Chains A and B, each alone.
Chain A
């Protein structure tokens, strides 16, 4: 039996402790936010927060979760009341297919938990583990800047970069 919390609710499961968290979230808890993208820790589609830190849920086995706190996309807000990072992504219309976006939102949240005022360079470095194939990066960056309370536009970011 493994016990941990998911989005502040206690959860326990008898599932084999080798099972990665991703499959438990998707199939036992029926949470859609964390996506399967590679299962290899290479793309970030499965990103969730573990005790506030962004992690690849496809790599974390249940065995590592006892007593810990998991936050998924669903834990940040709802369609009627999206959380601030979700709202920033909606505001910037930061999605094409949208499949990578839940992971991007969680990665951004993880960054803000650690560093509420990231520089442009820090935002890009922090998002580095997450891949997007639609090329939505510009909008994702704008959304991340907006979520961090910075001017969202590319031009301001360019100016910041060339100033440093």
Chain B
């Protein structure tokens, strides 16, 4: 395992070993990737997917003389099963057995810089690059074999990496020679006819699961280096507070304590034993005196606060001349701040060895994180290596990069000694950057024929990406004596969008005006959380569609289909309606209801529709999801079970966001510190059944999956609640207290 091979291993020794083909592995991107993955639109370059940034075939695929095959990706396994899916793609196109391919994931020492593993881009960027690179490598090796055997390519067959023709065989390993794969990819690739696929499209079992379920070293939390010590951090109680006084002498004499670190407002402790570090951290926190700090907004007024804050307005859709005729209805929707809430708090290991720093991190972007860390510790980036090791699921920009920065900074204070920093639960809850609170106002006119004639939609949101570009976006760098200022957050442009992701309706309305109000300031620290603004916009848009359908006296599914022309969109909608049994569904009694919702993520990625059936327990204020049915079209399905797994997960996670979740705070501090003060969904409340139908599109581009189901699930729940009770809740979450209040009113 490379992640464990230790900091002493140089890039050269990694790349040069074993008579491999790689001679001049191109680590420098042809064009630097945008600092914000959320702004990326893939496939815009002349070459497919990430090949446009790394055009050399050997940036992606290496074949050794011993026939071993290594595939490189700059993406990271985040629990989405990408490792398995990318190997399927490579093995299929190379015509080798699945088990023959080894995949190396994000590591600044050896993989391409693919920016962030986010926005459901792994398959469209890395998957597409590997698909094309593998197909071209196969063709190239067949051409070489034809040459050597004096036959034409169509007289040859390939079986598990062995090319045979005229009674003779050559394995790939025998055909590779110096620089054979160090050639630029072509724009067109000889991709195999999808109907002949043996590996792509199969529900191959995830290769990482058995090890994780039997106790192997699988996460950065499990990394143990010789002589490693343990660190814990002590953060200021509020943003901007200053450390006014501390006496560290007692903490320094506690058992096991190696060092107390104070650098400006940055406070941490290093100890030999992990629990010793925790005890010392508690004593240190008790000894610290803080002053000043920035007040948080009144939680009860947050939506007014957001609308009052200065914002940058941009009209992101202007269609028709406006003012369509008909009955007009209006509604406003709200989303509170919400937590990524990784089940394993962030963790990282840092090690300074001479003038080199190595950091093992569950970051989503090893390269951007490496650059930010290098800037913070004032080292040349080439002396810093960031190696991805898995953490618990992150669902976006959580504490990972900040913990990596902690490990880096602390490692520089104890040079020569590897140091593991583990955030406590409270650190993760209080200091991860949240998913932004948002406000939506919508208005539409319904014409006589029961179609929408005019649509006006406004969305207010604070930023959706404050990932490390520069050091200033790392918490530690803001706190040290010579601090770095955070980057000015950017408004992620359409078509992907940030707060306005999926704000443009995917329906055919003759008149539509959609405006984004980008609030640059951050009353609470925020960043990318799974699906960004799409969760809220789809919740609002699809809730509003149901309100309009009700007004029109139309069936919600029929009403949607009436405004939907994209055949693939119609397919997911009708598939779900069929499988759910929408047309002959019967209400069992009061409190029983059903809801439907649909969206195409970012209006350019995965299509997903969800129908669900609920029961509302009035007294307890509880929504019980009896069953959910979803259909998803992710383009060519590489691993249908992986798509089902992520979609089931997205539905359950979104149900938790939608029914329970809201960051709690007073003007003095964040009050959500643990799972008691920030409840999430538990087993007794998870749906009775979840059924996911994968619509495969062989040969079509990969569309990604991970973020398709959250928005539709939220709206389907709200729609089912309205159907069950006759009351609509437009403010997330549909918490027990809010449900009781709504039903009593």
Contact = CB atoms under 8 A, between A and B. Distances in A.
Interface residues on B, range: 35 or more
Interface string A91-129: 001011111111001000000000000000001110110
Contacts of B307: none
Interface in A119-155: 123-125, 127-128, 130-141, 154-155
A155 to B, nearest CB: 6
B642 to A, nearest CB: 9
B645 A157 contact: no
Contact of A90 (B81, B209, B221, B691): B209
B683 A90 contact: no
Contacts of B392: 35, 37, 97, 99-100, 133
A23 B390 CA distance: 20
B703 to A, nearest CB: 19
Interface residues of A, number: 64
Contacts of B422: 36
Interface in A39-58: 39-40, 42-43, 45
B274 interface: yes
Contact of B214 (A19, A86, A138): A86
Contact of A79 (B214, B278, B676): B214
B646 interface: yes
A26 interface: yes
Contacts of A102: 212-213, 215
A45 to B, nearest CB: 6
Contact of B80 (A78, A96, A161): A96
A107 B641 CA distance: 25
Nearest to A91: B205
Nearest to A89: B213
A133 B675 contact: no
Contacts of A64: none
A12 interface: no
B79 A134 contact: yes
Contact of B224 (A16, A30, A82): A30
Given A23-B275, A35-B221, A37-B343, A77 B214 contact: yes
A84 interface: no
B652 A97 contact: no
Nearest to A73: B215
Contacts of A32: 215-219, 222
Contacts, number: 196
A39 B281 CA distance: 14
Does more than half of chain A's interface fall in helix, strand or loop, or is it mixed? loop
Main secondary structure of the interface of B (DSSP, over half): loop
A157 B343 contact: no
A85 B686 CA distance: 21
B472 to A, nearest CB: 29
A23 B221 contact: no
A115 to B, nearest CB: 16
Given A35-B221, A38-B674, A43-B675, A138 B345 contact: no
B222 A136 contact: no
A132 B652 CA distance: 10
Interface in B618-660: 626-627, 641, 645-646, 648-656
Given A16-B255, A97-B392, A133 B641 contact: no
A127 B683 CA distance: 6
Contact of A36 (B210, B345, B675, B681): B345
A42 B675 contact: yes
Given A20-B275, A97-B390, A78 B649 contact: no
B213 A90 contact: yes
A42 B676 contact: yes
Given A27-B273, A95-B206, A125 B684 contact: yes
Interface of A: 15-16, 18-20, 23, 26-27, 30-33, 35-40, 42-43, 45, 72-74, 76-79, 82, 86, 89-90, 93, 95-102, 105, 123-125, 127-128, 130-141, 154-155, 157-158, 161
4 tightest CB-CB pairs across the interface, nearest first? A97-B79, A135-B652, A154-B689, A99-B392
7 contacts: A16-B275, A40-B674, A95-B212, A98-B208, A130-B683, A133-B395, A141-B683
